[in-house]
Structure 1
């Protein structure tokens, strides 16, 4: 059953849809997000996630991926919710001990409600910046920040949040060479624990997904640039 808390319209910062299996945690999330001016809709039944996303049409989603009942799988649930919510960002709540790539929008249990609020605010801020930006092109590559979609020639390319942000940053500064440290600061979540080699891994993944349409150039001894 849906449960919503609507702050005064003058304070509204958008609608956040929260999927959370623990009622006590859900209430904390609702209270802290509402204090920041968000309209909050809480849903405990993650089996209905896609239908609820379509019903609510949120500006952001907080998706609990811990303690999932069978036959739900975390990766598939996240994929379906992210697709249904697009272009709204999805912030994942992960079980304890999970080590996730830096830059992916996630918090790990146990987490501070303030950390969740910060993650939601950062995701919405990045989304707003993307929405205001123009479509970016490099040869056969087309990146649309408004829908967070990428086409490599005549086919779509499915990128992770980090891969998309990294590629968008490079395309917004064509020809400019960035060090790995600069790319970490620009495309990864603030405070995320990631080493510079993480950039190399994500660039390799981008090149594999984009194929010949990849505009990323390696500058030996320095870092990377995007040519258009």
Structure 2
């Protein structure tokens, strides 16, 4: 699972250029042209990072950033502001609104990509690269391969995505609803009980006799990866 980036830019030529170059760098890219489109896209396919242009129709990038930071479901998504406004006062205003970084146009793609990867490493280290690890578990997104210790772990696509989500935030308790949104998608109707079934399959694949169960069930809440959990 490569990092998902949402480009919010109303100039089609710029968004097309950004999309082309970021896809070459291995990012999964989606595009929105205004505030309404952005909020809908974020709801349907939560990105790992948002590139947000300052000058947008109807709602400015600053106001849109403020809205994202004001909602529980979107407040943790990293935001990089893209703008031609290079004055110190504007940079401070953008950062004070909640942006994680601020890139002034024109910029080089190499600089932008470096800044994106830096922000991703700070916000969600497991998403920034192709390989994630937790305890003795290693997940390779590019090869779609999981190993625990010296053995391969054979997972179905859903269990792979489920483990990937849990490994992005070790220790964090994900509710069943959050896991449904991130693994199955918000536009798919699946009963919450389905999460329990797939967690059971994931546990069975990960845990052999004598292995410590890394998945902690939090009663009435959800699931988490927990290195201190005794099973």
TM bucket normalised to smaller? 0.3 to 0.5
- TM-score, normalized by length of structure 1? 0.46
Larger Rg: 2
TM-score, scaled relative to structure 2? 0.45
